Amino acid sequence: MSRAVLSVGSNVGDSLAHLRSVVDALADVTVSVSAVYATAPWGGVEQQDFLNAVVVVDDPATDCRGWLRRGQELEAAAERIRARRWGPRTLDVDIVVCDDVRSDDPVLTLPHPRAHERAFVLIPWLEVEPDAGLVVDDQIVRADALLSRLDAAERAGVRKLDQGLRR
């Protein structure tokens, strides 16, 4: 069994449609989908706000590298261009966690090395998995505790929208 938590985001083109394309493509293996959240961009690059969500998937035929490959295929289908780190993008699919795998491989680092610093990952994840936990500094820490450590402005900058991703 391979279960993964995917963080998806978009701020170019029809962002909602880009996020829905992930849910549509993974419908047969999707366990849960969060609401859509609007968030300010991260990383200091001037750009419009992102739409973000979390998709929990489970497929015994897909390992962690398979989830990476599927995410990259979805990004390519959305014509993602990797021009600038933390820059605008049609679709970003990040693996937050995959099973209990820990990896320092630069191609697939697990758990995601900055997920614990990002309210736009933690808030939607907690919506679908209230008991979520993440390995930080070699210890499993509850996601709600990680969220409480973030600056209040970071948390307040994640705004839940009325739009959903399931049709």
Question: Which CATH number do you get for residue 59?
Answer: 3.30.70.560
- Domain membership of residue 112 (yes or no) is yes
Q: What's the number of domains the chain is made of?
A: 1
Q: What pLDDT digit, counting tens, does each position of 90-121 carry?
A: 999 999 999 999 999 999 999 999 999 999 99
15's tokens: 């962002």
- Domain membership of residue 167 (yes or no) is no
Q: Which residues of the chain are under the pLDDT cut of 50?
A: none
Active-site residue (options: 59, 70, 92, 118):
92
The amino acid present at 30, given as its one-letter code, is: T
Active-site residue (options: 20, 70, 80, 118):
80
Active-site residue (options: 94, 99, 142, 155):
94
Active-site residue (options: 20, 59, 70, 89):
89
- Cα distances (angstroms) measured from residue 141 to each of 15, 59, 115, 137, 146: 31, 25, 12, 9, 7
DSSP symbols for 26-61: TGGGEEEEPPPEEE--SSS---PPEEEEEEEEE-TT
Q: Where are the beta strands (DSSP E) in the chain?
A: 3-10, 30-33, 37-39, 50-58, 92-98, 103-104, 109-110, 133-136, 139-142, 158-160
Q: Is 94 a catalytic residue?
A: yes
- Domain membership of residue 138 (yes or no) is yes
What pLDDT was estimated at residue 87?
67
What pLDDT was estimated at residue 54?
98
DSSP, collapsed to helix, strand or coil, labels residue 145 as helix
85's tokens: 């780190």
Contact 29, 62 (CB under 8 A): yes
Contact 119, 157 (CB under 8 A): yes
Q: Is 92 a catalytic residue?
A: yes
DSSP, collapsed to helix, strand or coil, labels residue 72 as helix
- Domain membership of residue 165 (yes or no) is no
Domain of residue 34: give its range: 3-160
CB-side neighbour CA atoms (13 Å) of 7: 23
What pLDDT was estimated at residue 82?
67
What pLDDT was estimated at residue 36?
97
What pLDDT was estimated at residue 84?
64
- Domain membership of residue 8 (yes or no) is yes
Q: Is 162 a catalytic residue?
A: no
Q: Is 80 a catalytic residue?
A: yes
The amino acid present at 4, given as its one-letter code, is: A
pTM, two decimal places: 0.93
- Domain membership of residue 166 (yes or no) is no
11's tokens: 């701020």
